[in-house]
Amino acid sequence: MTEACPDPRQRHYDVAVVTTAALPWRTGPSYFSLWHAAGLKAMGLNVVYVIPWVEEAGQSLWGGPIYKTFEDQASALHEEAQRIGCPPLPDIVPYKASVWWLTRSIMPTGDIFRSIPSADALILHEPEHLGWIPWTTPRRALAANKVVGIVMTNYADYVRSTHKHRAMPAWLSDGLARFVTWYHRTRVAKHTDIAIPLSGAVAEIADVGGRLREAQVTGVSSTWRDVEPVRDGQTGIYFLGRLIWEKGLADLIEIACRTGHSIDVIGDGADQVAVKARACSANAPLTFLGPSAEPWTRIQPYKTFFNPSTSEVLCTTTAEALVAGRHVVIPECPANEPFRRYPNTHFYTDMDGACAALDTAIAAPTIPPEKVRDDFHWPQACRTIAALCDLIPIGQDAPLRESSRLN
């Protein structure tokens, strides 16, 4: 007789990867946490992946499949990890969460730490978000040896932008943004030992009580490395991302009108109807291609990625474009500063500068992307975060099981 598998909640793990969001909601935290969970398991560590479970009524947030049970979602996660080239996922357990439609985000409905199985180390994706509820268990009451938080969302910027697109007075949105920053700093201080900001855009939140650490803990799927290189004479331009105003889509429309360059738009989102209507009214040369579950298969015809968003912290789509050997045109802002060291990157500070940068990108030769591929390499990112969790010595090149799937 086969012994039943033990309940994951009753087991002890080396590390628990805890996220505010999971696929099929295609956001940064969803993908980053997926790769961390899979990559750390591939290193030989005993890992549990802790994700939110949202009831059916809230699942329309991500505009994808609706799951009747958590087991259905977990099964889909395993299939998705395989499809995008992740190593096999570890145990997956849920915590109860609900959708806050005003902020278009998922929030725990209770004390998140009561849902996490016992583990030597905790990796919290968006610790300020996970610990938003005031009575959430503080760090000092946790048995884990190390709690590492990865700060990756610029909530204050989203709040400030509401006065432009959601009819909120500027004075109110600015005041709320200052409150959010202050409150999130208190959450980081309460729940972590180390806080890693993905870029300077959120360094203020992470820099509290000596917790801030600078480290490269993200990567890009190997599928982007396999995109065919830019060919001579290739000039196409694309935008890839959620169609919400906070992504700088008003600027995208204006630049397309000013330059006359045709830009293909890949993605969908809550504001897509309004965005398309404004583009049509302005007679902007934009073509809306809809969303893609495999965007790396869609970008071969393009030479340049134009991304006007300043709401990101470290934009995944920009990193993916660079890894794929594309030029990128992006605004000057703290979130984009990490990309300055790479060839094929073009910055601008205003609309005139954006037009000039786009023309330069179209005409410039393409430099091979070796450096950005080395930096945005998931195996190394997972080794780095394992060292920060005291799970391997710093600098150790730990062996990877399933390494062919991770590289």
In CATH, which of 3.40.50.2000, 3.20.20.70, 3.40.720.10, 3.30.950.10 is domain 14-219+377-402? 3.40.50.2000
pLDDT of residue 5: 54
Q: What average pLDDT does this structure show over 305-309?
A: 96
CATH of domain 222-371: 3.40.50.2000
Helix/strand number for the chain, H first, E second: 13, 13
**3-state class (DSSP) for residue 260:** coil
Structure tokens, 209:
């009580």
Query: Helix 249-259 to helix 351-363 angle, to the nearest 10 degrees?
Result: 70
**Look-up: residue for tokens 């398991």?**
41
Residue 167 has pLDDT above 70, yes or no: no
Neighbours of 80 (CB within 10 A): 19
Task: Spell out where 126-252 has E strands.
Answer: 146-151, 194-197, 236-240
Cis omega (within 30 of 0) for bond into 24: yes
Q: For residue 236, count other CB atoms closer than 10 A to its CB.
A: 17
Q: Which of the residue ranges 37-41, 67-71, 170-174, 388-392 would you say has the lowest mean pLDDT?
A: 170-174
Which pLDDT does position 162 carry in this prediction? 62
Taking 60 as the threshold, does the pLDDT of residue 289 lie above it? Answer: yes
Give the model's pLDDT for residue 2. Answer: 40
Which H/E stretch holds residue 24? none
Pick the more confident residue, 101 or 197. Answer: 197
Average pLDDT, the chain: 89
Asked, colleague to colleague, whether 14-219+377-402 and 222-371 share their fold, the answer is yes
Instruction: Give the pLDDT band (50/70/90) at residue 174.
Output: confident
- Asked if pLDDT for residue 37 goes beyond 90, the answer is yes
Distance CA 204, CA 353 (A): 28
Domain ranges of the chain: 14-219+377-402, 222-371
Burial class (CB in 10 A: 0-12, 13-18, 19+), 404: exposed
Span of 5-14, 27-36, 332-341 with lowest mean pLDDT: 5-14
Name the residue with higher pLDDT: 24 or 89: 89
Please check the confidence at residue 24 and state whether its pLDDT lies above 80.
Answer: yes
Judged against a pLDDT cut of 50, whether residue 399 lies above it is answered with no
Residue 327: what pLDDT?
Answer: 98
pLDDT grade, residue 105 (50/70/90)?
Answer: confident
pLDDT at 1: 36
**How many CB atoms are located within 10 Å of the residue 140 CB?**
7
Q: Which of 354, 174, 181 is nearest to 253 (CA)?
A: 354
The mean pLDDT of 53-60, rounded to a whole number, is 89
Q: What pLDDT was estimated at residue 6?
A: 67
* Cα 25–chain centre separation: 11
Position of tokens 């340049």?
304
- Calculate mean pLDDT across residues 334-351: 95
Enter the tokens of residue 89.
Answer: 């996922």
Show Cβ contacts of residue 362 under 8 Å, excluding neighbours closer than 6 positions. 235, 237, 261, 303, 304, 327
> What number is the average pLDDT over the span 115-133?
95
Is the pLDDT at 135 greater than 70? The verdict is yes
